[in-house]
Chain A
Amino acid sequence: ELKVEQNPLFLSMQEGKNYTIYCNYSTTSDRLYWYRQDPGKSLESLFVLLSNGAVKQEGRLMASLDTKARLSTLHITAAVHDLSATYFCAVDINFGNEKLTFGTGTRLTIIP
């Protein structure tokens, strides 16, 4: 059974600081997704990582994928309050059946 683990589960950081969220998964996959969820809202797609070594960047967020280590990271640069949300990574392992297995999420709070 595929397991997806994120850490930390909770992260409180000051504006302007850098930090990294980690996503480990237990079964070989080369497709990993990052989503953002604001309180009471649905999930917003951030990144799709499709191969080993893939790196995607959008604003202050950068995601990378190491399929050999079964690890993805989401790096936050010079955090701002607007980035406060819960971040989920999700993995799918079956081509042709792309059901996603989500991690438990990282609740990020940016303190002014």
Chain B
Amino acid sequence: DTGVSQNPRHKITKRGQNVTFRCDPISEHNRLYWYRQTLGQGPEFLTYFQNEAQLEKSRLLSDRFSAERPKGSFSTLEIQRTEQGDSAMYLCASSYMRDSWETQYFGPGTRLLVL
């Protein structure tokens, strides 16, 4: 396994369209995170899963956003009725929880541009 993968790497869409991104974590990792990064800023937490359970969602995640991890493996992030403010890099990370800490390994990201 070579790391976290994300598809597509780039997405251009028109305002109002729906988009879906996929993340494949490192195979033995039980936790999966989604972050959003805008230009010149650090990543901001959106949501995370432990196995298939979605355990927390950020206030940043409006009703237009939905994330799933149906079998505790890959995850999808869907944005409905996209807005220009959704333009950002969407990063996925995965980790394996040790005793009291973990390192999150990030994927290459999906860069979204909403026109």
Contact = CB atoms under 8 A, between A and B. Distances in A.
Nearest to A105: B42
Interface stretch (A11-19, A42-50, A69-77): A42-50
Given A97-B55, A105-B42, A48 B103 contact: yes
A101 B45 contact: yes
Contacts of A97: 48, 55-56
Interface size class of B (residues with CB under 8 A): 20 to 34
Nearest to B3: A42
Contacts, number: 57
Interface string A69-112: 00000000000000000001010000101111111110000000
- Identify which of A42, A98, A102, A104 gathers the most chain B CB atoms within 10 Å of its CB: A42
B25 interface: no
Nearest to A35: B106
B55 A43 contact: no
Contacts of B95: 98
Contacts of A48: 101, 103
Given A90-B42, A105-B40, 13 more contacts: A41-B108, A43-B43, A43-B93, A48-B103, A50-B100, A50-B101, A88-B42, A98-B97, A99-B33, A99-B56, A99-B58, A101-B45, A104-B40
